[in-house]
């Protein structure tokens, strides 16, 4: 089998650090009327637009926060304010890599039995650094970092690696990036939900020819592969 793994929020925690940065931002903004949920809605709308143009990553998240601050702030905005807002995002880069429960033991079990690949999206250097810091690279024959995970991106990866699509499985937590486009590309998929998946990565899983497996935990992969 060829097993392709998402990285953020599948192999290690990721979105929780962005949520913590957002909480710091809300406290700093200290808006007189808007609730955190309402501020989040403004950020979500902006991120949906900017992601298509500028991509992902901590620094882009910081720039998004700066734009929201400039839009919603009720006081004079100094350059130091924008620097403070950016610092919330920059601290994400300093967080330790926190592997999901059972990840390393499961990869150690799977690696001798199957061909393992990482496929992650985002800022190239940032994603590469996380892979390096995770110390999981030894389990994977290849790591692919793409701007966006689409059906065409998966088809290109399968073609380049000469995988048999019917024997290839995409494993991840995001219906939008991991599951639906992989199924659309003719692959199989394993959906391992994460309770803190980024809202822009959530959508209904669509019917497709490929097989779909739903698991409650990463360790469950050992029972199927």
94, 123, 149 - which closes a domain: 94
Long-range (24+ apart) CB contacts under 8 A made by 92-95 are 92/17, 92/18, 92/21, 92/58, 92/61, 93/58, 93/126, 95/17
63, 94, 125 - which closes a domain: 94
**pTM reported for the whole predicted model:** 0.91
One domain for residues 30 and 6 = no
What is the reported pLDDT for 135?
Answer: 96
Name residues whose C-beta falls within 8 Å of residue 44's C-beta, 6 or more positions apart in sequence: 199, 200
One domain for residues 144 and 85 = no
Give the model confidence (pLDDT) of 88-112 as tens digits.
999 998 899 999 999 999 999 999 9
42-52: average pLDDT: 91
One domain for residues 208 and 141 = yes
One domain for residues 60 and 117 = no
Q: Using CB atoms within 10 A of its CB, is residue 181 exposed (0-12), middle (13-18) or buried (19+)?
A: buried
Domain coverage including residue 53:
15-94
Closest to 46 measured CA to CA, from 65, 72, 30: 65
One domain for residues 115 and 198 = yes
One domain for residues 118 and 171 = yes
Domain count, the chain: 2
Where residue 201 sits, what CATH number does that domain have?
3.40.50.1000
Q: Using CB atoms within 10 A of its CB, is residue 159 exposed (0-12), middle (13-18) or buried (19+)?
A: exposed
Q: Is the pLDDT of residue 20 over 90?
A: yes
Question: Please, are residues 139 and 170 in contact by the beta-carbon 8 Å criterion?
Answer: no
What is the reported pLDDT for 47?
Answer: 92
One domain for residues 90 and 166 = no
One domain for residues 106 and 160 = yes
pLDDT bucket at 21, cuts 50 / 70 / 90:
very high
One domain for residues 6 and 39 = no
Where residue 35 sits, what CATH number does that domain have?
1.10.150
What is the reported pLDDT for 156?
Answer: 95
What is the reported pLDDT for 115?
Answer: 97
State the Cα–Cα distance between residues 110 and 2, nearest whole angstrom.
10
One domain for residues 31 and 57 = yes
60, 94, 128 - which closes a domain: 94
One domain for residues 8 and 30 = no
One domain for residues 207 and 109 = yes
- The secondary structure element, H or E, covering residue 11 is none
């Amino acid at each position: 089998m060829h097993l392709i793994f998402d990285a953020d929020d599948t192999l290690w925690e990721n979105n929780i650090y962005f949520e913590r940065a957002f909480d710091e931002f809300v406290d700093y903004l200290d808006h007189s009327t808007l609730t955190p949920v309402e501020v989040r809605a403004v950020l979500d709308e902006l991120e949906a637009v900017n992601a298509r143009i500028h991509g992902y990553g901590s620094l882009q998240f910081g720039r998004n926060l700066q734009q929201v601050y400039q839009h919603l702030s009720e006081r004079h905005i100094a350059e130091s304010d924008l620097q403070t807002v950016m610092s919330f995002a920059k601290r994400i880069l300093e967080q330790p890599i926190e592997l999901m429960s059972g990840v390393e033991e499961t990869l150690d079990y799977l690696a001798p039995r199957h061909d393992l690949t990482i496929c992650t999206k985002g800022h190239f250097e940032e994603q590469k650094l996380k892979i390096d810091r995770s110390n999981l690279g030894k389990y994977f024959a290849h790591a692919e970092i793409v701007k966006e995970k689409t059906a065409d991106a998966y088809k290109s990866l399968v073609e380049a690696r000469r995988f048999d699509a019917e024997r290839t499985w995409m494993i991840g937590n995001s219906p939008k990036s991991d599951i639906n486009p992989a199924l659309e590309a003719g692959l199989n998929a394993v959906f391992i939900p994460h309770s803190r998946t980024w809202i822009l990565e959530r959508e209904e899983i669509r019917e497709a020819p490929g097989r779909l497996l739903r698991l409650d935990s990463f360790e469950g992969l050992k029972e199927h592969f």
